[in-house]
C-alpha cells in the first residue's frame, strides 16, 4: 500500500485529526512496521458522529486501536485506523464504601491503576503494569494474578456503529467471559468511549496466585496493603515479562486453554506436573506456558522473532522482525502443541 509516499495530515476538525498513509510502527507494542490508509485520532467522543458519517467510512472497515498492546500487524492495513485518545478521570458518585469512577478510553491503564491506589481504592492492584489503554480493558476483559477487570466494571459507554448513536452497556450487556466480551465478539460494532468502574475502599487482597505470597514475604510485607500487593506483582511481572519499550512484545501471546474435565483428567494423568485450575463451569484451565515450554520453544529464535527466555508465553521482536515472521512462529508453536497434546492454543492479540 504505497498510494502516498509519506504521511500527511489531510483534515482536522473539532476533536479529531486525519492522516493519510500513516505509520503504525510506533502504535503497536510489537514495533512491527505497518501503515494505514487513513489514521484518525479522536480526542472528543462527541466527534464520532461526524467522523463516522464521512462517506468513505460508512462502508469501510474501521480498526479501533488504543495503545496497540493487543494487536499484531502481519501486513499494512489498507483501510481506516481509528484511535480514541480522549482523556479524563472523574468521580461520578461516592457511596461510602465505594466510588463510581468514569474514565475516558484514551487514559493509560497502568496510570489509572496507580491513580486508584493513590486515592485509597482497592482491587486493581493485581492488574498493575498491564500495557494498554482503559478503553481496551473491557474489550479483552484483561486479567492477571487471579483478578479480571469485569469484577469492577459497572458499565461501558460506546458508539454503536450499527445504530449510529452513543449507547451505555451495563455489566450483563458486556457479556464478559475469560478474555472475551461483546466488544470482541462484535468487533466491528462498538467503539468504547469511556468505562465506569465501581472501586471499593476495602477488599481482601487476592494473593493466592503462584509467586505473589512468596514475593510479599521476601519484601517483608506480612499484612500487605493493596499498594504493597501492587509492588510485589510489579516486581514479579518485571522479572517475567520484557518491557515493550525495550523489546517488542504484546505480553502473553496465547490464552490459557480451557478443556473439559475428562480431557483435563487424562492430560493430568499422563503429565502430572501440568499446572491446571478448575473453572466455575466445571472445565479446567491449562497452563499455556507449560505446554509451550515442554515443546522446547522457550528462548527459541527464528531469525528476528523469538520466544522470551524468561516466559514461554511471550513472543518477542528481537529487532527488525515483521509481523508475518512473528505470526509464522506463533503458528509453529500452536501446531506443535496441538500435535503433542491435542490442545489448540488461541492467540490473545488480534491478528491482522
Give the pLDDT confidence score for residue 5 in this predicted structure: 43
Residue numbers annotated as active site: 179, 252, 348
Please provide the DSSP assignment of 96-113 as one string: SSEEEEEEETTSBHHHHH
CB 70 within 8 A of CB 347: no
pLDDT tens track of the chain, all 352 residues?
444 445 556 777 889 999 999 999 999 999 999 999 999 999 999 999 999 998 888 778 899 998 998 899 999 999 999 999 999 999 999 999 999 999 999 999 999 999 999 999 999 999 999 989 999 999 999 998 989 999 999 999 999 999 999 999 999 999 999 889 999 999 889 999 999 999 999 999 988 887 888 898 888 888 888 999 999 999 998 888 888 888 999 989 999 999 998 898 899 889 999 998 888 788 889 999 999 999 999 999 999 999 999 999 999 999 999 999 999 999 999 999 999 999 999 999 999 9
Cα–Cα separations (whole angstroms), residue 133 to 44, 71, 73, 198, 272: 16, 13, 18, 18, 39
Give the pLDDT confidence score for residue 155 in this predicted structure: 98
Q: How far apart are CA 319 and CA 325, in angstroms?
A: 11
pTM: 0.83
Cα–Cα separations (whole angstroms), residue 253 to 15, 43, 334, 347, 350: 34, 30, 11, 6, 10
Give the pLDDT confidence score for residue 8 in this predicted structure: 59
Q: How far apart are CA 230 and CA 212, in angstroms?
A: 10
Domains of the chain: 8-84 (3.30.43.10), 89-200 (3.30.465.10), 248-351 (3.90.78.10)
Give the pLDDT confidence score for residue 7 in this predicted structure: 55
Q: How far apart are CA 109 and CA 106, in angstroms?
A: 9
Give the pLDDT confidence score for residue 9 in this predicted structure: 62
Amino acid at each position: 500500500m504505497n498510494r502516498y509516499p509519506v504521511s500527511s495530515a489531510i483534515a482536522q476538525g473539532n476533536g479529531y485529526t486525519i492522516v493519510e498513509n500513516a505509520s503504525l510502527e510506533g502504535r503497536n507494542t510489537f514495533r512491527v512496521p505497518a501503515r494505514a490508509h487513513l489514521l484518525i485520532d479522536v480526542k472528543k467522543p462527541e466527534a464520532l458522529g461526524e467522523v463516522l458519517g464521512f462517506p468513505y467510512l460508512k462502508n469501510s472497515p474501521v480498526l479501533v486501536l488504543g495503545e496497540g498492546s493487543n494487536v499484531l500487524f502481519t501486513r499494512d492495513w489498507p483501510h481506516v485506523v481509528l484511535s480514541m485518545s480522549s482523556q479524563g478521570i472523574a468521580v461520578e458518585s461516592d457511596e461510602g464504601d465505594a466510588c463510581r469512577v468514569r474514565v475516558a478510553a484514551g487514559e493509560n491503564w497502568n496510570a489509572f491503576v496507580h491513580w486508584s491506589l493513590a486515592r485509597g481504592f482497592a482491587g486493581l492492584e493485581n492488574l498493575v503494569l498491564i500495557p494498554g489503554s482503559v478503553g481496551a480493558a473491557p474489550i479483552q476483559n484483561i486479567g492477571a494474578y487471579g483478578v479480571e477487570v469485569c469484577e469492577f466494571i459497572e458499565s461501558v459507554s460506546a458508539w454503536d456503529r450499527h445504530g449510529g448513536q452513543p449507547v451505555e452497556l451495563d455489566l450483563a450487556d458486556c457479556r464478559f467471559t475469560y478474555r472475551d466480551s461483546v466488544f470482541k465478539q462484535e468487533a466491528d460494532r462498538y467503539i468504547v468511549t469511556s468505562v465506569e468502574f465501581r472501586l471499593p475502599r476495602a477488599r481482601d487482597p487476592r494473593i493466592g496466585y503462584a509467586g505473589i505470597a512468596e514475593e510479599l514475604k521476601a519484601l517483608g510485607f506480612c499484612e500487605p496493603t493493596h499498594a504493597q500487593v501492587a509492588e510485589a506483582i510489579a516486581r514479579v511481572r518485571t522479572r517475567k515479562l520484557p518491557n515493550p519499550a525495550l523489546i517488542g512484545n504484546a505480553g502473553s501471546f496465547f490464552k490459557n486453554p480451557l478443556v473439559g474435565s475428562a480431557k483435563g483428567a487424562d492430560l493430568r494423568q499422563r503429565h502430572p506436573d501440568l499446572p491446571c485450575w478448575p473453572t466455575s463451569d466445571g472445565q479446567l484451565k491449562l497452563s499455556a506456558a507449560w505446554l509451550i515450554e515442554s515443546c522446547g520453544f522457550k528462548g527459541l529464535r527464528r531469525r528476528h522473532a523469538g520466544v522470551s527466555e524468561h516466559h514461554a508465553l511471550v513472543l518477542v521482536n528481537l529487532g527488525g522482525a515483521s509481523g508475518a515472521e512473528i505470526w509464522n512462529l506463533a503458528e509453529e508453536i500452536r501446531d506443535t502443541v496441538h500435535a503433542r497434546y491435542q490442545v489448540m492454543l488461541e492467540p490473545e492479540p488480534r491478528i491482522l
